[in-house]
Amino acid sequence: MQDIRERLKAMMGKGENSEIEFKSARGGIPASLWESYSAFANTDGGIIVLGIQEKNGTFTLDGLTEETVTRYKKNFWDCAHNKGKVSVCLPHEDDVRIESVDGSYILICKIPRASYDLRPVYLTTNPFGNTYRRNHEGDYLCTDAEIRRMFSDAEHDRHPQDGRILKGYDFNRDIDIETLHQYRQTFASLQPTHPWVGISDMDFLKKIGAYATEFETGNEGFTLAGILMFGKYDSITNNSGDPSFFVDYRERIATDDPDVRWTNRIYPDGMWEANLYQFYVRVYNRLIQSLPRPFMIKDGIRQEETPAHDAVREALINCIIHADTNAMGNIIVERTDEALTFQNPGMMLVSKQQYFEGGRSICRNPTLQKMFMRLGRAEKAGSGVDKIVSGWRYLGWPTPTVTEETRPDYVVLTMRIGKSDDDEPTRKPHKKTPQENPTRKPHKKDVRMKQILEFCKEPRTASEILENLGLSDRKNLMETYLNPMLETGMLTMTEPETPTSRNQKYKAIDSIR
């Protein structure tokens, strides 16, 4: 009981966030519970706690009796199994439980993330106008476009978006021959005896899924995957293809010049045919310049690539093959002195836990995935993420992280560059040359923490700290800086009894006398 009470108080101290929602239930189960149910299910799961109210940033118990909460629990299960109330029942029996804290009873409901084939999770029998998702500000009503994208993801096994046959496309007019031959040359160098090496270009495109015939109707033509991979940019962005297609590589390396936004950029500027294969080749060759190249010998032959190269390759391909062409936004890859980031539009088709566990391959664009696999450049058995993590740990660099952003939907993979105190290298150290281990600037997080300590010699609010740092994301400030600094004793709160108070300020420990 003590453990439950302490854990609950800790949750109340942190306040509501994207993973927890407190609701008063003095007048019965609030209707907003089901909005949060839908929101958690359609985002990344979370916890709803009934029997706690919030007022002016302070959370207090409702003082509900055990009899009342038992009745609420039965009502919850009755509604959860009623398709007229909610489209699917997700919690298991042990996900909903009654707890007693300081003589007051509460109902804790753990709502799992819905699998892609069960989304959208909606209220009543009509998804439109009754589907919710969640961000750091709370629950929000989904637009019709967001709902349609969730339905599209649910059907992607039978109707993958990159398998769509396009009308009106022509080989001579719309395919970039240079790109196709570059791909074929790589294919032939890897598999010189493969029977596809000597066939015609058109037959080759059919073999790899770039040109297909619908079994049911007999309709044939270039697939979206084929045009995205090998097409000319004007053909890709035709109204029959992907009109909003845009790929963007941004690089900012070794410059303090405020007038220089990017030291290198690759985007559809008319100087090259901006299809996916050309983008992949160009960007990969820029990204690997961030990697050291130790002297490695295997079977008497010097190896030019390391597991870290595999990690970068896999991350870039994942970004490409998981992009949702129906979502707002575009593929964005960034390289700085501090990190490589890969951003693709759309929602994750698996949870973050499943993403890092691997073993389950769910790809939004399976034809594109197979095209890269033909070159030995992609993993289908769910081991791609293993390559990303192990390749980065090979260098002793921090474990990559993945986040989901909403409005617009983006999946963001971040691979930080440089040593981490928390991550031990899994390979034997070797003597490094200056070229392999160049002097790097202090990590931006450490610089900002020092700035916070200096600024907080006098008590400061979170808003004041954000302004001083030149940042705008309050949630990121709390999770990345203030909470860790509070936990390690670098900062203290002026009102520790009410952590979420509107008057809360933070002060550097060293400045307290």
CATH of the domain at 85: 3.30.950.30
- Has residue 440 got a pLDDT over 70? no
Selected residue with higher pLDDT from 407 and 427: 407
Beta strands in 400-463 (DSSP E): 401-405, 410-416
pLDDT band at 426 (very low <50, low <70, confident <90, very high): very low
Is 371 part of any domain? Answer: yes
Are 293 and 333 members of one domain?
yes
The pLDDT of residue 306 is 87
The pLDDT of residue 494 is 84
pLDDT in tens, 301-334: 555 678 999 999 999 999 999 999 999 999 999 9
Are 238 and 369 members of one domain?
yes
Which residue type sits at 302?
R
Q: Which two tokens stand for residue 199?
A: 């066939």
Rounded to an integer, the average pLDDT of 366-395 is 84
pLDDT in tens, 232-285: 999 999 999 999 999 999 999 877 777 778 889 999 999 999 999 999 999 999
pTM of the model: 0.74
Helices (H), 343-406: 352-357, 366-373, 384-394
The pLDDT of residue 480 is 82
For residues 240 and 232, what is the distance between their CA atoms, to the nearest angstrom? 14
Are 48 and 134 members of one domain?
yes
Could you give the number of structural domains in the chain?
A: 3
Are 392 and 462 members of one domain?
no
Residue 497 burial (10 A CB sphere; 0-12, 13-18, 19+): exposed
Selected residue with higher pLDDT from 131 and 253: 131
Percent of the chain with pLDDT over 70: 85
Kindly report the CATH number assigned to the domain that includes residue 339: 3.30.565.60
Are 286 and 379 members of one domain?
yes
For residues 346 and 153, what is the distance between their CA atoms, to the nearest angstrom? 10
Give the DSSP H or E segment for 317.
Answer: helix 307-321
The pLDDT of residue 415 is 96
Are 72 and 133 members of one domain?
yes
Are 352 and 407 members of one domain?
yes
Is 103 part of any domain? Answer: yes
- Has residue 425 got a pLDDT over 60? no
Ramachandran area for residue 57 (φ above 0: left; ψ -120 to 50: alpha; else beta): left
Is 190 part of any domain? Answer: yes
Identify the sign of the CA torsion 109, 111, 112, 115. Answer: positive
pLDDT in tens, 191-225: 899 999 999 999 999 999 999 998 888 899 999 99
pLDDT in tens, 16-67: 667 889 999 999 999 999 999 999 999 999 999 999 988 777 888 999 999 9
Give the DSSP H or E segment for 301.
Answer: strand 301-302
Residue ending a domain, among 110, 143, 176, is: 143
**CA-based max dimension of the chain:** 82
For residues 212 and 206, what is the distance between their CA atoms, to the nearest angstrom? 6
pLDDT in tens, 464-482: 999 888 888 887 888 788 8
Q: 463 is in which domain, residue-wise?
A: 444-511
CB atoms within 10 A of CB 285: 10
Is 296 part of any domain? Answer: yes
Is 149 part of any domain? Answer: no
Are 408 and 460 members of one domain?
no
Q: Is 67 helix (H, G, I), strand (E, B) or coil?
A: helix
Is 428 part of any domain? Answer: no
Taking each helix axis from N to C terminus, what angle separates 366-373 and 307-321, rounded to the nearest 10 degrees?
A: 150
What phi and psi, each to the nearest 5 degrees, are found at residue 181? -70, -35
Taking each helix axis from N to C terminus, what angle separates 32-42 and 66-80, rounded to the nearest 10 degrees?
A: 60
DSSP secondary structure code for residue 122 in this structure: B
Q: Which two tokens stand for residue 501?
A: 């108070």
For residues 488 and 506, what is the distance between their CA atoms, to the nearest angstrom? 14
Are 405 and 458 members of one domain?
no
Are 290 and 371 members of one domain?
yes
The answer to whether 410 and 323 have CB atoms below 8 angstroms apart is no
Are 214 and 121 members of one domain?
no
Cα angle 312, 313, 317 (rounded to 5 degrees) comes to: 115
Kindly report the CATH number assigned to the domain that includes residue 450: 1.10.10.10
Is 460 part of any domain? Answer: yes
The answer to whether 358 and 379 have CB atoms below 8 angstroms apart is no
The pLDDT of residue 309 is 92
Q: Which residues on neighbouring strands pair with residue 342, listed in sequence order?
A: 333, 413
Are 310 and 364 members of one domain?
yes
DSSP secondary structure code for residue 481 in this structure: I
Is 468 part of any domain? Answer: yes
